[in-house]
Structure formats: structure tokens, C-alpha cells
Structure 1
Amino acid sequence: MFRFVLFLALTCGGAAVKAQEQPTFHYVVSFPKPAMHQYHVELRTNGWNRDTLQLKMPAWMPGYYQLMNYANNVLGITAQDEKGQNIPIAKTDDNSWVLSGIRQKAIILNYDVKTDRQFVANSYVDSTHAYLIPGNTFLYVDGFLHLPVSVEVEPYPGWPNIVTGLDNVDREPDKYFARDFDILYDCPFLIGNLESLRSFKVRGVEHRFIGYAMGDFDRQDFMDKLAKVVAVGVDIIGDIPYRQYTFIGIGPGRGGIEHLNNTTVSFDGSNLRTAAGMNQTLNFLAHEYFHHYNVKRIRPMELGPFNYDAGSPTNLLWVSEGLTVYYEYLIVKRAGLVDEAGLFADFAQNIRAVENNPGRHFQSLVQASYSTWKDGPFGTQGDAVGKTISYYDKGPVVGMLLDFAIRNATRNEKSLDDVMRFLYRYYYQQQQRGFTDAEFRQACETIAGAPLTELFEYVHTTKELDYDTYLGYAGLKLDIRERQGKKEVEISRLPQPDSLQTAILKSWLGD
């Protein structure tokens, strides 16, 4: 049995309720028909001092900024009281059900959840394992997200292992506890015949990699490299806010989702057999790991408490996602796992994507961030192709220019690292809240000791990026050439940098 401890929570949400009304929630998850890609959920709840109750299934999950319509997967929902009498239940909209006549009754809900897509933001069950997204699984009562929750898992025979971010209840296997629904929804479950790789410690804190169907690869070499990635990530912020961290490999596929003390990632170890595959995988894992700082704790104001019903749009996904891409490259380089040429190639790939996308003339970074709910994180497809951008591409490029601007303004005394540390310490640790657009800019300009007007024009407008000036601060240059109607780009060193340029480049590379 694998388990680990959740330490810090998101700020809880939900409306204030009467002090005397403290209902309880207990869920039981079972797998009577896994080969049919379904699982069963029972909810036992009581203590309601009201006649009607509205239950909802989240429409999305934090970390994946698209409406997922999880309620469409709910089948055959029924409700009874403790005497087995049916309680009227009716679906009132796309993700809501109303129960009537429930005052002072113990309520037992039963429903099945169908799964038909293997993806990191969807639950998926088959005859060999289960990957459960809590937002795809557990109904909540509107206005009561702040209440504690218990979950019991009844694994299918032959599924000996469970990994999740939730605490065990009194060390009992298969029984878990969350202090509120925000924590519950932050902790996916992976259940089956799982493999645990050799763990490592960073600053005395254990880090694990536990997964399903991980494939054939050099496990020791991989974990040695991953330990270096985590150590560098921790060094950037200077604090570890969890008691244990676990990388959860859900099997081959696409995507990763960050959580407070874990990340769920699609993982196939056979990709590690080539240098390019290893670099891509380490970048990916560095990205998901650094997210536990940047977005889970260093977060825009809108991303917590969450609106599970309709989404939580923000202008700042270019910070939460784009700057995390920026740091994934730097972390792997500073860990000594890629050389200078490899780092330059990573950034050149993003610049190439920006420069070959005509959408840069139509949509700014803040617009791309806010519009991800309809455009998608990589821009709109179909008729709107060429009118949108991806904050995954332009975000890290602007992050690089911003970092160089801060380093140049402070004669290499400060950097974007200092901005991230300030946001973590002031807004997360001291204020215990997110930051606004204006507060992010103020933090950058305060650290720089100078206005960064042009940099934030790159964020809020479609102004073309001045690569020569900002790369030049680090003694770098960008070569752009046309080939068959597309721009090809290459980052290289200037032939005769001055002492400040040399110092900035050296510290940025981590040399």
C-alpha cells in the first residue's frame, strides 16, 4: 500500500452556513464492472437542517482550464433514506441535481460513472487499473465546499496498490480523509498493480515516483536525474511546503496535472532511451513539479477559491503556465542534464512557434490567458486558425526577456528568481492569497528597481518582441532566416560580450 501525507491546503470556498448545520460526507468507490469502463460511487450524507439539497458535479478540474462536463458521465443516480425509502431526485441543469424532503434524514446516493477516454484530466477504468479524477467522481453540495470529507476505496481483486494525495484515516488501508472539498478535488487516485521506484530525499523530504505500466528503462539513472531536477526547483524558491511529494505515472498517454503534493503525469519509460526523449521527459516533469510552487501556491487571485461550476478565468495563465515552461528549461539546464546548445534549442522552438503564428498580430498574452476556456491552451482551431496564440509558446519567451531586463537593470544583482521568491513569501506565506495583474507587475518593477513598460506592452498588446535588445543583455543574439515561407531561428552568443553581459549569461545558465 502506497500512501503519503498532504500538508498544505488551498483556501477553502463556499458560502457561510449556519453554525448548527454541519453535515457529514462519506463516499465509497467500488469497481463492479471495470471491464465496461465504469465504476460505482456511494455517498452517505446526513445532518441537513433543510428540506431540499442541490448537488453538483464539477464542470472542470483546476490545472486543466477547459470545461469538461463531468456530469455527462454520471449514470443511474438514485437516492434513498436510511429506511430504504426513495427520495425524489431530479436533474435541474447540466451538472446539478435537487433532492427533496431530506430534512434530518440520512441520505444514501448511488450512481455509476462511465469512462471512455484515457487522458490526464479524465477518470479512466479498465480491467487492469483505475485512474480517478475526484472532480469527475464526487458530487458536492453547493455552499458546503468547506466541510470535511471521507472516502473509502474498495479495489477490484488483483489491484493491490492505491496512491493518492489524501491522508489515510487512522492508518487504515483504503480509507482517506480530506479537510475540505478543495483538498479532495486536488487528490486523484491511481489504483492497480503499481510500481514504486527508489525514492530520494531533498532537504530531508522524501520524493517518490509511483506508476502504472511504466515500461522498460534504466530506473536508477532516471531517478538520479529526477532528484537533480527537484533539488534545483527547490533551490529557486528556497522552501519545501509539503511533507512528501509523489510523481504519479498514470501510464502512456498525454498530459500532466499539478497538485499540492503530487503530480499525475502520462509516462512511458521507453521514451527515455534517446537523449531527445530523456530531455523532453525531464522538461515535462520539471514543469509539473515547479507548478506546485507556480500556480498552486504562487497563484493569480482568480485561481482559488475555485468556481467548480463555471471555471475561473484569469489574465495570468501566461505567468502560471508560460513562466513554468520558462523554468522547466532552466531547471534542467541548471541541474546539468542538458547543455547550453540544448537550452538554446528549447527556447528557439518557442520563438519559432511565436514568429510563425500570424495570431501574434491579433491576440495578446492576457487575451490568450483569459480566452483559454473557449480557445484552448494552444489557440483556436478551425475557422479561427491564425487569430490566436498559445501562452505556452509566447509566455516563456516573454519570461526570458523579462528575466534579462531585470538582470540588466540591477547589474545582475536580481533576477526573475527574486520575483518568484517574493511572490511566494509575501502573497502565499504571509498574505495567504493570490496576486492581481497589477501586483505581479509591481513585484517585477520593484525587484528591477526600474519601470518595465515595454515588457508589459508585450504582455498586454500585440507589439512585436525586440529580441536583439533583451537577448543582448545576456550577450546573446537571435538569427532569423526564411525557408519555404517559414521562419527558422537560432540563439547564439555574441562574439565580444562585455563584462556585464558575460556575468548575466553565466548566472542565468547556472554555470
Structure 2
Amino acid sequence: MVQITRNCKLKTLILVCCVFFSQLVHGVKVNENTPVKYVVSMNNPEKKTFQVQMSLPANGLMEFIMSTWHPGYYQKLDYSKNVENFQVKDKNGKALPWSKKDADTWMVDAGIEKEIFISYDVKTNRSFVAESFLDNTRAYIIGGSLFMYPGGQISRPSTIELNVINNWKIATGLDFVDGKKNVLYSPDYDILFDSPILITDIEELTPVVVQGVPHRFLGYKLGDFDKAQFMTDIKKIVESAVALIGDIPFKHYSFIAIGPGAGGIEHLNNTTISFNGSGLNSHEGKLRLYNFIAHEYYHHYNAKRIRPVELGPFDYKNTSKTRMLWVAEGFTSYFENLILRRANLTTPEEMLGFMRSKMLAYETKPGRLYQSLVQASYNTWADGPFGRTEDEVNKTISFYDKGPVVGMLMDLHIRKVTGNKKSLDDLMRVLYYDYNIAKGRGYSEKEFRMEAEKLGGDMSELFDYTTTTKELDYQKYLGYAGLLIDTEYKVLPYRYTGLNTRILNANLSVTNVDYESPAWNAGIRARDILVSINGKPASQTELDNMAKTLPAGTILDVVYKRGDKTVDTKLTLSEKKDRTFQITRKANPTAEENKIYNSWLRNKHHD
């Protein structure tokens, strides 16, 4: 998930974005342009509403804009809908006229006033990594969802005074103003919006140091787990990720855990993540969480610094569309698995299993027949980062599924044509050093392909995979590493309905219906309630038994409810052919295939 800003800021912003507790930081002096002053209160947290005040020099007719999205989460969130009780006053408390220009913009007529004072409330509705939240246990602030910015003044600095309650502590990516334990400073709005703020009873684990740079893990309700071992593994993850690029572009890094939930968003020198330590108590849960952490950490390279040129400076009002999220997000999803493997936190088989799961996620959705990777990237603002899920026929894909798979194929191609002297690692380093560092900007779509083909020669087929719905040739590219993949369609050993269900309020609710499956053709859709099957009360057990015991062609009498309407339909059980995408090693790989395999997976046991 994404952001970086102007080209000249890289080193200075790195210093600004270090995460500290108030009692541990060194402050900064506000001696530049006159900052916008914000005061954030959290009175009556049970009402889940922040109170925001802002003051700044007046300039006649002024616009104040609320961001419509958050960098790193590529979907419009329309933060303005949560704004209430907007008011504008002069220094004497007299109301000034204002009006709404559109849903996200407030117009203020300051007249001859030299300074204006704006106040408004922000209602919070859900605990989510991309939205602000307040209750009796914590405050979580996403800058774009809480702070209006004056139109045309994205580069303006600001101070943020936090009226903290309950003796809570502050964790954020902003520095504190000298001598002010609860006043933060931001040099511009790109940094303010890149720096979430967590205010609560914060627990911090023992930091780890990599190449002289401390990495901290701190947050809310971390849970019960082996915290010493966890930080040892965090260090391995960081070391593995850093080895891919060879540079640490900040002085401090913090993982900020905002509590149980789902999701994470990367920032220049920190990430906010949903976290529940109880997941570490099983091997599978640990690997899921470690992949997640590796993903967000590697993002400070890929997406924040190695980035499509469209992703910074940002257009907070109209979004910043790019066709390249399949690299920014998809490649990060690929490298998360490589990072764990190279950190020896997973086995080669587990690494391949992760990639197989991504293949299955892509190949089992009908959207693969309709939407390309670049379309999924560009249309994410309407479709959502995981594709549309409410359509009757899902004709979209997720760049989180296909992107890492294409990244893997490109990696294996580069290794093959260079005699294993180069890899996708080298492409990412070129984009980091030649574009982010040397040019101080992101790469264009044309430049990305140019740099890829400098390494891998003609990659027309691979780039076709990004712009078309052409079927991927897994056999060819995995074969370069001496691997086989089962892509043959085989008849499954059970009859097929196409129904996916769960128990909801004591009813068997349909969660999804496979496109053009028997259930689909019978008219059943998601959110329908199954009432009976062949006169018996509907249950998942009954469905499973019928699928195992009845022959193909058997007609089932199914009664379901859709709202207040009861429908009787006929569902014909069928055979289903499917592909397993199981990945195995060749019995007798060549020396070159072994070399690629071992180098790719850093495996020392199959030389």
C-alpha cells in the first residue's frame, strides 16, 4: 500500500517520520512558514467522535478539502461523510460565511480577516486500518480522514495538539515540537497523511537493531505469545528484506499494532497493522502473520520509494490512478514469501505452497477471463483492491492474486536468460537506486518495461500477461527451476453443486455461487437462504452427503428464500473438472535447473 512525495524530500522526510513515544523523542523547532494549527480532542469517547479545531492565516475566499482516500488503500473512502458541525469564526468568535462547493470541499469567505478559526466533529464508525477510530479503549487517527487541508497548500506545515485522555501514550510517525509532549509537527500534508497516530495504553517489545537502525514493535493489546522469539524472527525478516535492496533509508522504523482486525498500511518508516498475538501460537498462524509483516515492511521499498510515477505527489481529492499496482502490490506479495524463505522461516515447499495458493485464488475466479492486470490496477478505485464482490458475475480480478504470480514468472525468466546471474531482485534495485535515489521520482510504465527488458531481453509474452487475459504458461517458467506443475483438468471425486454456504442466524446462507455452476443455472445466488433439499431441512452435511453418494445427473428439489419470497427450483448435480496446480520437483533436473532452483529459494539441501 502506497506513498512517497516530492523528489527533494527523501532524506529530510526520513528524519521527520521516526516513530517515538512522547517522553523519548527529540523535538523539532517550528521555524518555517506559519503552520496550520490543529487541536484534536476526544471528549466523551463513548460517542466515537473526535473534535477538531484548526486555525490559520486568512486569505479571502478559501477552500478546505477533506481527502477522499488514503494512500496505500486504493479505494475511495469519502471521509467527508463523517464530518459534522462545521463552523468558521473570526478571532472575536463571530461566525463567518461558508458553503459547500461539493461533497469534499468547504468554501470559506474570510473577507478582510487576517486569521480564521474552524471547528468540526468527525464521527468514527468502524475500527479499520484506513479509517480513524475512537472509543473508550483507544484513539486511532488517519490524517486524511481527520484533517482538512487548505486548497492549493499541500506543502504547508502544521502542528497538531492532542488533548490526550486517560494518561494514554502516543505512537506516530511525526516528531514532537520541542518542549511539548502532546504537540506534533508535520512539514507538509503528504507527511501528515502518511503518519497515523495511535493513542492508548501502548506496550512496546524490546527493539532489534539491523545495520545500526533500531526497529521497534509497539501497540495495543498485543496478546500473549513468546515475545522474545517474535522479535528474533522480526529481525530475521528485516535482515532478509534489507538484503534484497542493500540500503536502509531511515534512522528508525516502527511496527505499530493497532489491535485485532485485518489489514495493514505501509508508511515511509513505519507501518500500522492489525495484530493479534494469539495467531502466533500455531505454525500456520505464525506464517500468515509473518507474511503479512514481511509484506508491509518490504513496502517501504516497493510502493513507497520504488513506485509508479503516478503515486506521488498525490491527488487527495480525485485519487491517483495508475496501471502499475500489479507491481507495487503484486510484487510485494511475491517478495513477502521470498523474504520469509530467505530468512529460513519457511521451507522451500512452504514457499511454493504460498505461490500455489495465489495461483488458485486467481485461476478459480471467472474474472480472469474478463479483466487484465493493468485494468485491475487502474479500476481499483471503483472495484476495490480485491476486485468487485457484489456483482452477480464477478468479472474482476485482484492484483494481489495475479500480480505475485506474474512476478514469479518474470523472476524465473530473468534467471533463465542471464544464466542465473540476474533476477527480479536486480530489477527492483535498479528502480530503487536509478529512479528513487538518482532521479528522485517513480518510474513510468514504459520505463518499467525498458528496465525489465534490459535484464531479461524480450519479455513480450510476460507483459502480455499484464495487459491481456492470456492464459499463463506455468509449465514453461517453473520448468526453468526444474519444477513440474499439474495444470491438467481432472474429474473431481464428488458431484458438484457450485454452492458455498455458512450458518447465519441458524439458517444455511449462501455465501457465493460459482459462475455457470449447477446452482447458478438453478437461479440460486449469494445471500439466498436454503430451506430444504429433496424435502429435508437444508444443511451443509446433507449437501456434502449428496455430493459424495449421488451420481451426476441427479436432480435435487431445492427450496430457498430470497427476502420474503420462497422459491422452488431444480438443481442438477454434475461432474466437475478442475486443476490442482500442485508443484513438484522433476525427478532428474538439469544442472542449470538445480542452480536456478537453489539460488531462487536459497536452498542448500538439493545441490
Aligned CA distance change for structure 1 residues 6 and 168 (closer, same or farther; 3 Å): farther
In structure 2, the residue matched to 1:195 is 203
Which among 104, 116, 119 is matched to residue 110 of structure 1?
119
* 3-state SS of paired residue (1:301): coil
What letter matches 1:247 in structure 2? F
Matched, 1:319 2:327: yes
Q: Structure 1 residue 323: deviation in Å?
A: 0.2
CA contact (8 A) 2:326 2:377 kept: yes
* 3-state SS of paired residue (1:177): strand
> Structure 1 stretches (4+) deviating beyond 6 angstroms?
none
Which among 45, 50, 57 is matched to residue 56 of structure 2?
45
In structure 2, the residue matched to 1:25 is 36
Q: Structure 1 residue 172: deviation in Å?
A: 2.6
Which among 58, 66, 70 is matched to residue 79 of structure 2?
70
Counterpart CA distance in 2 for 1:175 and 1:499 is 62
CA contact (8 A) 1:123 1:132 kept: yes
CA contact (8 A) 1:249 1:266 kept: yes
Which of the two has higher C-alpha Rg?
2
Deviations 1:161-204 (A, max 9, x none): 10000011115311111111100000000001010011000100
Counterpart CA distance in 2 for 1:91 and 1:299 is 34
Counterpart CA distance in 1 for 2:185 and 2:425 is 35
Counterpart CA distance in 2 for 1:430 and 1:251 is 38
Matched, 1:206 2:214: yes
* 3-state SS of paired residue (1:241): coil
Matched, 1:380 2:375: no
Deviations 1:211-230 (A, max 9, x none): 10111111111111111001
Q: Structure 1 residue 488: deviation in Å?
A: 2.1
In structure 2, the residue matched to 1:274 is 282
Counterpart CA distance in 2 for 1:367 and 1:312 is 14
Counterpart CA distance in 1 for 2:482 and 2:34 is 62
* 3-state SS of paired residue (2:156): coil
What letter matches 1:78 in structure 2? Q
Matched, 1:396 2:407: no
In structure 1, the residue matched to 2:152 is 143
CA contact (8 A) 2:15 2:251 kept: no
Which among 45, 63, 80 is matched to residue 34 of structure 1?
45
Which among 600, 603, 606 is matched to residue 508 of structure 1?
600
CA contact (8 A) 1:53 1:102 kept: no
In structure 2, the residue matched to 1:451 is 458
Q: Structure 1 residue 158: deviation in Å?
A: 3.4
Deviations 1:240-291 (A, max 9, x none): 1111000000000110001001000000000110000000000000000111
In structure 2, the residue matched to 1:18 is none
What letter matches 2:95 in structure 1? N
Q: Structure 1 residue 23: deviation in Å?
A: 5.0
CA contact (8 A) 1:67 1:310 kept: no
Counterpart CA distance in 1 for 2:383 and 2:398 is 9
Q: Structure 1 residue 6: deviation in Å?
A: 5.5
Aligned-pair identity (%): 47
Matched, 1:90 2:99: yes
Aligned CA distance change for structure 1 residues 86 and 386 (closer, same or farther; 3 Å): closer
Q: Structure 1 residue 150: deviation in Å?
A: 1.1
* 3-state SS of paired residue (1:374): helix
Q: Structure 1 residue 88: deviation in Å?
A: 1.3
What letter matches 1:414 in structure 2? K
RMSD: 1.6
Counterpart CA distance in 2 for 1:102 and 1:317 is 44
In structure 2, the residue matched to 1:258 is 266
Size of the alignment, in residue pairs? Answer: 493
CA contact (8 A) 1:27 1:44 kept: yes
Matched, 1:163 2:203: no
Counterpart CA distance in 2 for 1:80 and 1:149 is 19
Counterpart CA distance in 1 for 2:217 and 2:445 is 35
Counterpart CA distance in 1 for 2:391 and 2:272 is 33
Counterpart CA distance in 2 for 1:152 and 1:330 is 42
Q: Structure 1 residue 324: deviation in Å?
A: 0.3
What letter matches 1:172 in structure 2? K
Q: Structure 1 residue 418: deviation in Å?
A: 0.2
Aligned CA distance change for structure 1 residues 378 and 156 (closer, same or farther; 3 Å): same
* 3-state SS of paired residue (2:339): helix
In structure 2, the residue matched to 1:14 is none
What letter matches 2:152 in structure 1? G
What letter matches 1:64 in structure 2? Y
Counterpart CA distance in 2 for 1:9 and 1:441 is 33
What letter matches 1:54 in structure 2? E
Counterpart CA distance in 1 for 2:273 and 2:393 is 29
Deviations 1:293-324 (A, max 9, x none): 00010000110010100111110000000000
In structure 1, the residue matched to 2:585 is 493
What letter matches 1:460 in structure 2? T
Counterpart CA distance in 2 for 1:381 and 1:362 is 15
In structure 1, the residue matched to 2:4 is none
Which among 344, 350, 353 is matched to residue 361 of structure 2?
353
* 3-state SS of paired residue (2:114): coil
Matched, 1:470 2:477: yes
Aligned CA distance change for structure 1 residues 103 and 470 (closer, same or farther; 3 Å): farther
Structure 1: segments with no counterpart, 5+ residues: 11-20
Q: Structure 1 residue 9: deviation in Å?
A: 7.8
Counterpart CA distance in 2 for 1:395 and 1:82 is 54
Deviations 1:83-120 (A, max 9, x none): 11111122221111011134442111111111011111
What letter matches 1:493 in structure 2? R
* 3-state SS of paired residue (2:426): helix
Matched, 1:429 2:463: no
Matched, 1:338 2:430: no
Counterpart CA distance in 2 for 1:509 and 1:384 is 40
Q: Structure 1 residue 333: deviation in Å?
A: 0.7
Deviations 1:12-64 (A, max 9, x none): xxxxxxxxx96530111111121111111110111x3x311000000000000
Counterpart CA distance in 2 for 1:196 and 1:171 is 23
What letter matches 1:45 in structure 2? L
Structure 2: segments with no counterpart, 5+ residues: 1-11, 18-31, 497-575
CA contact (8 A) 1:248 1:264 kept: yes
Counterpart CA distance in 1 for 2:91 and 2:43 is 23
CA contact (8 A) 2:241 2:339 kept: yes
* 3-state SS of paired residue (1:382): coil
In structure 1, the residue matched to 2:424 is 416
Counterpart CA distance in 2 for 1:415 and 1:103 is 62
In structure 2, the residue matched to 1:123 is 132
CA contact (8 A) 2:90 2:113 kept: no
CA contact (8 A) 2:34 2:157 kept: no
In structure 1, the residue matched to 2:509 is none
In the superposition, the TM-score normalised over structure 1's length comes to 0.94
CA contact (8 A) 1:6 1:261 kept: no
CA contact (8 A) 2:222 2:257 kept: yes
Q: Structure 1 residue 382: deviation in Å?
A: 2.7
Matched, 1:237 2:248: no
